[in-house]
Structure 1
């Protein structure tokens, strides 16, 4: 305990300068960092101070951003920018919008259905439920940059068993869909509305990550919107259903757990994925090949925005693609004195030089869009 609050030594461009328990953590830039002498790191990590704030009050990230208390927010969800409250907030403030298409595999996201729920315990019933949710149809109109993934591990198309979407004997009038990331709410709201048109009531329930993880472990869920931070390998898919896994464990799916225990991870991962898709236990969500952010005009990006594998435009620390922006203190003071726009509106600047070829998401070259 004597060393718990001592600062760790680091070779990076920033060092931990201040901790305000429960409020914020501050990092400051080293003036004589060795990496500044290397071509790869030259002219990067330009910000003098980086402050991470705890979200410990009732205000949302968007509210803090529109007040200027947050300098940038990253929301890859394309639909998020189209919600009335967000469009109104951004059009009133002196902020910029930017989208960078990348050449990266998308981390999977999708709907997990618990087969232990009585009204959707067999494949025919889950196929019926998937049809009511209409996820594939939503993806086709959700955004020109989004299309439906084929599974957890890879993007090669597969043909799941085709079961007729006939209504089950006992219709579930209400079903709970749990999620953890508020950025997914616009998409999940569309799923809810689509189901409502088919007389199925979806109750959206946002849970803290820890609570949702525990419910997954115990198999105490109906529907869960699963969202991962990175693409999965066969081994990591297998670990999701291994009871002795140190990471996320998904309970309630006995056959997947049996596969994970009795097969080599390299084979089990693909078998598990095929089983989840064919049995309509996992419904793939959107595949997305861009990152998107809003930022105040006192932050500046270089002419070459981001890199081929950038995942966050305003990551201050990433050795691969971080630090590619800078701030202007005087501009910040001037903008905060008059934060509102006069006559213009926020526009979305699009950079697609790294974009992967995708016939489902074709768009013109670099352009500025409303």
Structure 2
């Protein structure tokens, strides 16, 4: 599948004469000028990726973020001010049609193999993403229907035209485009197989340097990275090497961390923060702890109900299940009140968030009324509801063993309403595959966030009943489709916000998603040689040790002298001051 002829064959396209070019070299910098280069950062993942591809079958794994983090876009968003700032482009301008953005590409930009990044690589992105050979229907659709044209004016000037007009900032986000190395890819029917384990040239600060299948993937910092001294990238991406080891059990990984074989460990889970991350190595100051509140869009954690399931097709069952899900007890017991109840999948989007949407409370009477209305009005000897000889039994699929304790609470509380919930743990790779192939009944998971609330990928019928799409509830509702398309096409911000609110209410009313909880902070344990900026992180930092993100990644560094000092002190039993930091600057009041 090729681009429309206009993108390739337009003869000598001319830039509009009245373009007003913009850039941004005045937003505040957010990296620490005292950061030092060097060292190896050692971290872990719980499963080895099924492929190094970032599109196509089995590509939507957690490791995908490591790869995409090193593929930069045309522009970025400042993590404190949300201003547009340069990445692959130095300047931008807006067309009068309200849906086209013009970009001047940075002529210094290079692929990791040394070749220059040019306009042709952006044209190839469209050809690539529209190709049937990548076996990625969501991308085929998005890059055909939403990004309708890319025009090359010269080797370092392009325009990107979206399908519908949008506010200026939204144009960059909705029609954001990264380059794809034309010289590297051969698009044919064997592309998926042939590129499973090929290392794609990238534009970011690191590139994969070593792979031991099933065990380790290493990244190496580029010594001559083209953007190293750019305003918003200077003093970032400081470690020389990143070693990602597969440790399939998080509890085992924690032991590796406390032995000093892993440099940092996320302590968001209450048992780790309150109980496990204690003792001599903390009291003697070898390992520090930090609790950093952020102010950012919250992932949509919750229970996603597959509407193709015979039981869950009935809306009354879904409503009954929502009222039988005791999230509040999970938060107050297992989660130590560290978490907050999530009321929808669209929290933290400012005016776009509908604050009137509230999660359904645990209420056994209401649960019983809805379930009885669905015909589940009788119970068996064990208390589980029955209908036509079948039990009201459903399977929850989850991918982290740390979720088990909270799911046991959910399971036991639902039993009071006559619902049997069975728990199915799958490792992350297998779990993602199971859910994206729509083989689940209930998925316990969360989606990462975008700049604006996203509805089409999760709830439009175009993505229902198909594998490898993000509509994991299999929602297929023409009335909802129409609202989603209105939202996508609306340029007036007030009307767009109104539509976003309507959509959130509609999704809530359909009850295919039960929101659970949010964590508006990052908690980490880290060996004292791991250094953070004075401000720890940015307003939108989801992790203090984000490796590669162009907006918040690479702010930390390793102090090699302090590492030697710490290891010597540990051997001799010497003490340092214990460190526990709690930063509440961005905590919501």
User: TM-score band, normalised by the shorter chain?
Assistant: 0.7 to 0.9
Moved more, 129-138 or 114-123: 114-123
Helix, strand or coil: the match of 1:265?
helix
Q: 1:156 aligns with which of 350, 355, 359?
A: 355
Aligned partners of 1:247, 1:158: CA distance in 2, in Å?
Answer: 26
Q: 1:208 aligns with which of 404, 427, 431?
A: 427
**1:233 and 2:425 matched:** no
Unaligned runs of 5+ in 1: 359-370
The 5 Å alignment of 1:137-176 reads 137-139=329-331, 142=335, 146-153=339-346, 154-158=353-357, 164-166=366-368, 168-170=376-378, 171=385, 175-176=394-395
Aligned partners of 1:343, 1:332: CA distance in 2, in Å?
Answer: 14
Task: Name 1:66's counterpart in structure 2.
Answer: 258
1:7 deviates by 6.0
Note closer, same or farther for the CA distance 1:197–1:62 as it changes in structure 2 (3 Å cut): farther
State the Cα deviation string for residues 209-233 of structure 1 (Å, max 9, x = none).
4543454456544432131122551
Contact 1:113 1:281 in 2 (8 A): yes
1:293 deviates by 1.7
State the Cα deviation string for residues 282-337 of structure 1 (Å, max 9, x = none).
21111332122221222111211111111221122222111111113344345446
Task: Name 1:366's counterpart in structure 2.
Answer: none
**1:350 and 2:582 matched:** yes
Task: Name 2:215's counterpart in structure 1.
Answer: 23
The 5 Å alignment of 1:1-370 reads 8-55=200-247, 60-77=252-269, 79-82=270-273, 84-85=275-276, 87=278, 91=282, 94-114=286-306, 122-139=314-331, 142=335, 146-153=339-346, 154-158=353-357, 164-166=366-368, 168-170=376-378, 171=385, 175-195=394-414, 202-216=421-435, 220-231=439-450, 232-239=453-460, 241-244=463-466, 246-250=468-472, 253=474, 256-259=475-478, 263=482, 265-267=484-486, 274-336=505-567, 338=570, 348-355=580-587, 357-358=588-589
Aligned partners of 1:160, 1:329: CA distance in 2, in Å?
Answer: 48
Aligned partners of 1:106, 1:291: CA distance in 2, in Å?
Answer: 12
Rg (Cα) greater in structure? 2
Moved more, 85-94 or 219-228: 85-94
1:63 deviates by 2.7
Larger RCO, structures 1/2 (Cα 8 Å, 6+ apart):
1
Aligned partners of 2:329, 2:249: CA distance in 1, in Å?
Answer: 37
Task: Give the root-mean-square deviation of aligned CA atoms.
Answer: 4.2
Helix, strand or coil: the match of 1:228?
coil
Contact 1:80 1:186 in 2 (8 A): no
Unaligned runs of 5+ in 2: 1-184, 187-193, 347-352, 379-384, 386-390, 489-499
1:124 deviates by 4.3
Task: Name 1:367's counterpart in structure 2.
Answer: none
Note closer, same or farther for the CA distance 1:173–1:33 as it changes in structure 2 (3 Å cut): closer
Contact 1:124 1:164 in 2 (8 A): no
Note closer, same or farther for the CA distance 1:202–1:28 as it changes in structure 2 (3 Å cut): same
Task: Name 2:160's counterpart in structure 1.
Answer: none
Contact 1:97 1:294 in 2 (8 A): yes
Contact 2:436 2:469 in 1 (8 A): no
Note closer, same or farther for the CA distance 1:184–1:160 as it changes in structure 2 (3 Å cut): closer
Contact 1:66 1:89 in 2 (8 A): no
1:149 deviates by 2.5
Size of the aligned set, in residue pairs, is 353
Contact 2:320 2:366 in 1 (8 A): yes
1:43 deviates by 2.3
Moved more, 221-230 or 89-98: 89-98
Aligned partners of 2:555, 2:201: CA distance in 1, in Å?
Answer: 24
Moved more, 49-58 or 315-324: 49-58
Aligned partners of 2:565, 2:241: CA distance in 1, in Å?
Answer: 19
Note closer, same or farther for the CA distance 1:177–1:85 as it changes in structure 2 (3 Å cut): farther
Contact 1:146 1:288 in 2 (8 A): yes
Helix, strand or coil: the match of 2:397?
strand
Provide TM-score, normalisation by structure 1. Answer: 0.75
Provide TM-score, normalisation by structure 2. Answer: 0.50
Aligned partners of 2:272, 2:250: CA distance in 1, in Å?
Answer: 22
Task: Name 2:85's counterpart in structure 1.
Answer: none
